[in-house]
Amino acid sequence: MKLPNLIILDEKDKRLRQKSKNVSFPLSEDEKKLILDMQTYLKMSQIEETREQYDLRAGTGLSAVQLGILKRFFVIVDEYEEGKFRNYIVINPKIKSMSEELIYVGEGEGCLSVNRETEGIVPRYARMTVEAYDIDGNLYTIRVREEISIIFQHEMDHLDGILFVDRIDSKNPFKDANLMREI
């Protein structure tokens, strides 16, 4: 497996604060290749040997905007069992419903565009139903929960120019933790 040449923007880059535009179908060959490269990059970042070989930070989600492309799509690569990956291609996503229950990542969220330690909790929905398109332009609906729900929300925020650090209360980083479930 060859590491794709992707340059991930740092949080200081103003493009990360812009709202991405809907993608039109059919996708171009360049867009399809980019999506596959994003998946390969994420997968390689989760395999310990390749992560060390290429000095990568582990990531499970990556939005086009993080590569400087203001289009509404992201990919998620979830290693659900050692060496086994589930891939999500999410284009022009829309939240159809969400749970009332809120959760947060106990050790804190991370981001490939935020290269610093951050403290605080990011309130997220425990479950969501999302409508999106796949790489071939087929509309689908998916119900996501727990960690995958958090990753979907994190990446969807990117599409709207929001970073996870924006969702942490700067005056009280652990505000309302007692009202949410830690995962």
- Write down the domain spans for the chain: 14-182
**What is residue 1's predicted lDDT score, i.e. its pLDDT?**
84
CATH fold of 14-182 reads Peptide Deformylase (3.90.45)
Which one of 100, 119, 155, 182 is the catalytic residue? Answer: 155
**What is residue 63's predicted lDDT score, i.e. its pLDDT?**
98
Query: How does DSSP classify residue 161?
Result: T
Triad 41, 107, 115: Cα angle to 5°: 45
Altogether, the residues listed in the chain come to a count of: 183
Distances (CA, A) of 104 to 20, 37, 148, 167, 168: 25, 29, 12, 11, 11
**What is residue 158's predicted lDDT score, i.e. its pLDDT?**
98
155 annotated active-site: yes
pLDDT averaged over 10-residue windows placed end to end, the chain, 183 residues: 95 98 97 98 96 95 98 97 95 98 96 95 98 98 98 98 97 95 96
CB 48 within 8 A of CB 82: no
